[in-house]
């Protein structure tokens, strides 16, 4: 008899995991996802990526506002799931929900727990300068990302990684780890549940657009990491020579001066003094404009050329 699974997820990150469940031959009883949200210029309701994938696969989609409602819990219990797989769902699961599936609830989390529990583990790992990260398959319990880890997969964080590139890589790794866990469950293999250590707990707080505003008094290394972490959202921005710019790519370079001032730089480059070192702006965006190179900005604003 096929494993009876309920899947809960919302963003693009969760879609490969849904595909991994489908690829095992499990019976996906229903997919839970966040209610449609207004999006785009017309603010029309938009189905989540997980909902779109589920409907394409002919799976029932449920979108409750909460799972704390007794009727919603009864409807879930009526499905008689063996397992509930949760990937970036966006709703907390009450204890009664965690107890419904025969094998409990599994979560795919994009960090090496207990580091970076919480909402934005991918971006916080880059911002902090971590050398590596990964994904964990976790047995869920009532605490926030506190459950024992069943499987994990690691990946280095390169100096070129952005929030977007690392998101995509961890999404793929998460699907592979989930597929491995499901294969073990179907084969009757016991997955060792490794309790998380108390040491090393950190929290990845939700991103706030206000954090994207760069303060030139910071170190160039830290600002460059923030630019990478906050791309493609919310995108770093800063004040430069009286203009607010969105900064899509930058790298630390040698240099010193009054923070926020322009420094002599090779032709077509923009070097900005920071509290420690300097930041070379590579790709920027003016208000209402498209993403352009630093060279294009210099051509448009010749006054940005610092004395050589």
| 49 annotated to a ligand binding site | no
| 111 annotated to a ligand binding site | yes
221 Cβ contact partners less than 8 Å away, ≥ 6 residues apart: 129, 252, 276, 277
Asked whether the beta carbons of 111 and 121 are under 8 A apart, the reply is: yes
* Element holding 110 (H helix, E strand): none
| pLDDT at 308 exceeding the cut of 50 | no
Domain 4-204: CATH superfamily, name plus number? Formyl transferase, N-terminal domain (3.40.50.170)
| 48 annotated to a ligand binding site | no
pTM attached to this predicted model: 0.94
Q: What percent of the chain has pLDDT over 90?
A: 87
Output the pLDDT for position 304: 65
* Element holding 177 (H helix, E strand): helix 163-186
Q: Is the peptide bond before 234 cis (omega within 30 degrees of 0)?
A: yes
- Reported as a single tens digit per residue, the pLDDT across 151-206 is 999 999 999 999 999 999 999 999 999 999 999 999 988 899 999 999 999 999 99
- Reported as a single tens digit per residue, the pLDDT across 49-72 is 999 999 999 999 999 999 999 999
Asked whether the beta carbons of 201 and 124 are under 8 A apart, the reply is: no
Task: Work out the average pLDDT over 226-242.
Answer: 95
How high is the mean pLDDT of the chain?
A: 94
pLDDT: is 42 or 94 the higher one? 94
Q: Which of 128, 137, 200 is nearest to 157 (CA)?
A: 128
- Reported as a single tens digit per residue, the pLDDT across 96-144 is 999 999 999 999 999 999 999 999 999 999 999 999 999 999 999 998 9
Output the pLDDT for position 41: 74
Q: Is the peptide bond before 172 cis (omega within 30 degrees of 0)?
A: no
Question: Domain boundaries in the chain?
Answer: 4-204, 209-304
The pLDDT-based confidence of 267 (bands split at 50, 70, 90) is: confident
| 240 annotated to a ligand binding site | no
**What is the CATH number assigned to the segment(s) 209-304?**
3.10.25.10
């Amino acid at each position: 008899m096929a494993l009876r699974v309920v899947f809960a997820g919302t963003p693009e990150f969760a879609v490969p995991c849904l595909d991994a469940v489908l690829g095992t031959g499990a019976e996906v009883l229903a997919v839970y996802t966040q209610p449609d949200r207004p999006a785009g210029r017309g603010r029309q309701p938009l189905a989540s990526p997980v909902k779109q994938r589920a409907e394409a696969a002919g799976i029932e989609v449920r979108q409750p506002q909460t799972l704390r409602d007794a009727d919603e819990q009864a409807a879930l219990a009526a499905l008689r799931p063996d397992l509930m797989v949760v990937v970036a769902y966006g709703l907390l699961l009450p204890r009664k929900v965690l107890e419904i599936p025969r094998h409990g609830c599994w979560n795919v989390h994009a960090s090496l727990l207990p580091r970076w529990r919480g909402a934005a583990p991918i971006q916080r790992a880059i911002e902090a300068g971590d050398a590596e990260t990964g994904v964990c398959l976790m047995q869920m319990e009532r605490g926030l990302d506190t459950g024992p880890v069943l499987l994990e997969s690691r990946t280095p964080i390169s100096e070129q990684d952005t929030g977007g590139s690392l998101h995509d890589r961890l999404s793929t790794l998460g699907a592979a780890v989930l597929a491995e866990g499901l294969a073990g469950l179907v084969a009757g293999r016991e997955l060792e549940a490794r309790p998380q250590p108390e040491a090393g707990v950190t929290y990845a707080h939700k991103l706030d657009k206000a954090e994207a505003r760069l303060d030139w008094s910071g170190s160039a290394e830290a600002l460059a990491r923030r630019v990478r972490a906050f791309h493609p959202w919310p995108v770093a921005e800063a004040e430069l020579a009286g203009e607010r710019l969105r900064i899509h790519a930058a790298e630390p370079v040698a240099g010193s001066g009054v923070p926020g001032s322009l420094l002599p730089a090779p032709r077509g480059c923009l070097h900005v003094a920071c509290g420690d070192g300097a930041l070379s702006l590579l790709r920027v965006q003016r208000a209402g404009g498209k993403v352009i190179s630093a060279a294009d900005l210099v051509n448009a604003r010749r006054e940005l050329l610092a004395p050589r």
